Structures are given as structure tokens and as C-alpha cells.
Amino acid sequence: MVVFTKAFADGDDAVRSLAGFDVLVAMRERTRFPAAVLERLTGLRLLVSTGPANAAIDVAGARRHGITVCGTGYESHPAIEHTWALILGAARNLPAEAESMRSGGWQVTVGEGLHGKTLGLPGPGPSRHRSGAGRTGIRDEHRRVEPEPDPRDRRRARGASGDEAAAVHRERRAVDPWVLSKRTRGLVAAAELRSMKPSAVLVNTSRGPVVDEAALVGVMSEGRIRAAAIDVFDTEPLPADHQLRSLPNALLTGHVAYVTRDLYTIFYQDAVEDIAAYQAGSPIRLME
């Protein structure tokens, strides 16, 4: 067994590194497998992805080249928990306070209380009762605000009026786990970010390109919103010199919202079962 711990530079690098393997296990969407890569992995017969779906894999292209693609089980609560960790960490300035204590200091900031505030959840993510907002005294504005197919009017919402959609952006505290697509890419753009309250904290544990990253850097640099807590980025790993890393009002984690010991146990136990089932000719969790 060979474990790859660093991102491949590009498709050519992936092909050079993965050539000769019969079976690959992909960690979520961290490596892209478009048809142009899959057709060059001539020895590959089984591609297992952790989780039941993977937008980075061209499943139809894999089938054309005789590659079976399957998935594993998944649980959503680790990402929900991490989202709340980011919300609370940003609101109470935990990075600055922890660093002050580590360096021998004491209180250096004044936190933002969340009781009575509004949590905007614009999208088809976790249901109201699973967000846990009520237990913190936060008003949960979970409205099913979905992007219209017409990209010229991103702020319109199916099932909600234009005013309701705009209200969610003004009150926004988090971005739900959207599936990245042409409809959701850049969904939270400059206009939406500038409509938010100056005290707002934007949290994204969904997909990086759902939020216009350049626009986010701009509004944060200008102090137009209080903070952002981000787990996902346009380019991953996030470049070492990226401007987000230097902003004092940015709380950043490296796409770890789903990363828990329990979920990794599910991923890799199921991956082993998939491989064994494939070798035995038994039914496996085929990815659609």
C-alpha cells in the first residue's frame, strides 16, 4: 500500500504518480479525476472515493475506460459541529485570545455575543432542528434560498421573495453545504457580501467557489464585515502567501470540517469492504 500525503501539481503529476495501480482510494475531492486523467491510468480497475459522491470524479468517463467507481458511508454531523466551532471561534475572537495566552498575555479583544442574533442559513443544508441554533438563543433564519438557473440574478430565490433572499444575506452567519455547480459558483458575490451587516460573520464550510474569494478578501480588508471563518477555498491547499492568511479578521482551517476519527473509521472500513467485495465479485456501493 502506498499513501500520498501531498497534493499533485496537476493532471500530469497525478498520472505519473498513480500509474501502475490497480486500485485507488481517493479522500473526498482532494484529487481530480477527469476523463483526461482516467484514460491515461490504463492499469486502474477500481476507484474508491470516501463518501457516497465525488464531484471531482468523472464517473461516466471512468465507466467508458472500464473503471469501477464506488463510495463509502458518510455522516454529516462532523461538518455541522465544525461549522459551529467556526461560528463561535470567530464571534469570540478565539485565535487572538489563545495566542495572547500562549505568549504570556491576557484579554486582548471584546467578543460578540450570539444570544438573540440571527443565523442565516440560505440553502438546502441541515434542517432547522439540526442546526442547534435554538439551544444557543440564536434566531434561526433557515430559509430555503436556492439560486435561480439565470446567473445574471444570483440574489433571486426559489420559494422566497427577493426581499427575503436579501434579508438572509444581510443577517448571514454561515453558508450551508452546497454542492458546487454552475448555479452555485460565485453565489455569494460582492453585492451579497456588501449587503451584510458590519457586525456579521461569514462562515463557509461548503465549497470555496460558492463564495467569491476575491470579493470576500476585499470586504474583509475594508472592514465591511466583522470577520469570516473559512474551511474551504478556491485553491486547496491554500497557497502559503494567500492574502486571506494575513487578515486578522479571518479564522481559517484547512478543509477539515468532516475530519473526525469516527468518520475516518467509516471511510476506511467501508473502503476495505468495497475492495474485498470487488475482488470477490460481490455487490459494491457503485457511485452514480
Instruction: List, as one string, the DSSP characters of 110-160.
Output: -----TT-EEE--SSSS-HHHHTGGGGT-EEE----B--S-TT-TT-BBTB
Q: Per-residue confidence of the chain (288 residues) as pLDDT tens digits?
A: 999 999 999 999 999 999 999 999 999 999 999 999 999 999 999 999 999 999 999 999 999 999 999 999 999 999 999 999 999 999 999 999 999 999 999 999 999 988 888 888 755 544 443 555 544 555 555 444 344 444 334 444 344 444 444 444 444 444 445 567 777 788 889 999 999 999 999 999 989 999 999 999 999 999 999 999 999 999 999 999 999 999 999 999 999 999 999 999 999 999 999 999 999 999 889 998
The CA–CA distances, whole Å, from 252 to 19, 69, 74, 140, 227 equal 34, 32, 24, 24, 11
| CA-CA-CA-CA torsion sign (96, 97, 100, 101) | negative
**The one-letter amino acid at 255:** H
The span from the CA of 248 to the CA of 246, in Å, is 6
Widest pairwise Cα distance in the chain: 62
CATH class assigned to 11-71+260-280: alpha beta
Superfamily of domain 77-252: NAD(P)-binding Rossmann-like Domain (3.40.50.720)
What is the 8-class DSSP label of residue 108?
Answer: -
CA torsion angle 82 182 188 205 (round to 10)? 10
* Residue 132 region by backbone torsions, left for phi larger than 0, else alpha for psi between -120 and 50, else beta: left
- Residue 144's pLDDT is 40
Other CB atoms within a 10 A radius of the CB of residue 116 amount to 9
The CA–CA distances, whole Å, from 54 to 32, 88, 127, 134, 288 equal 9, 29, 22, 32, 10
Burial class from Cβ neighbours inside 10 Å (0-12, 13-18, 19+) for residue 125 reads buried
- Residue 161's pLDDT is 45
Say yes or no: do domains 11-71+260-280 and 77-252 share a fold. Answer: yes
Domain boundaries, given as residue ranges, for the chain:
11-71+260-280, 77-252
| pTM for the model | 0.81
The span from the CA of 136 to the CA of 141, in Å, is 14
- Residue 253's pLDDT is 98
